[in-house]
Amino acid sequence: MNTRIAYLLAGVATLAGIIVVGIAALGTGRADEQSGRAYVTTIPPGYRDWKFISVAHEEANFNSFAAVLGNDVAIKAYREGKLPFPDGAIIAALHYRHTPSEENNKVFGQAQSFVAGPPTNIQFMVKDSKKYSATGGWGFAHFQDGKPADEAFMKPCFPCHNQAKATDLIFTRYAP
């Protein structure tokens, strides 16, 4: 083959390759948005220092404690009684085993005392009404041992929280 034609064919092939890859990448992005995938995979920094919102205790499958904390935007909204939560609000639910405390029970003289046992998972809800418009304005997150859950795991978050429309999808009330 003529060398110049060879180079020309190589160049066209390369260009075609680049165009194909580019289209594929764009296609994936659109699919993401269309599928409504909207969950958070990075732990918001500094969450352990956030202010206290409330506590909860779940029996049954969970058998757990939740300590609910909020960043300053979330806390401010709670204290002002302001719904919906503004963009930038982040609420964290730190989960632990609901564990009997032998030491406390000895002191009380009877079995009555439960404390936060081993941590089980940390969940977040991140408010961004544009980015997460498909899921009520909230991006959901679940981390176990620092690792984010996968998409299948995260699917039930929104439909369940969507039953709390009256309180902007947030079940937890502020504890005075």
The verdict on 83 binding a copy of itself (CB under 8 A) reads no
Q: How many Å is the Cα radius of gyration of the chain?
A: 24
Q: Is residue 160 part of the contact set for a copy of itself (CB under 8 A)?
A: yes
Q: How far is the CB of 29 from a copy of itself (least distance, A)?
A: 34
For a copy of itself, which is the closer residue by CB, 43 or 116?
116
For 60, the token pair is 């049954």
CA distance 51 to 69: 5
Phi, psi of 91 (to 5 degrees): -115, 130
**19 and 96 in contact (C-beta within 8 Å)?**
no
49 part of the interface to a copy of itself, by CB under 8 A: yes
**Can you give the binding site for a copy of itself, defined by CB under 8 A?**
48-52, 54-62, 65, 67, 69, 94, 96, 98, 101, 103-104, 107-108, 110-116, 119, 160, 163-164, 171-173, 175-176
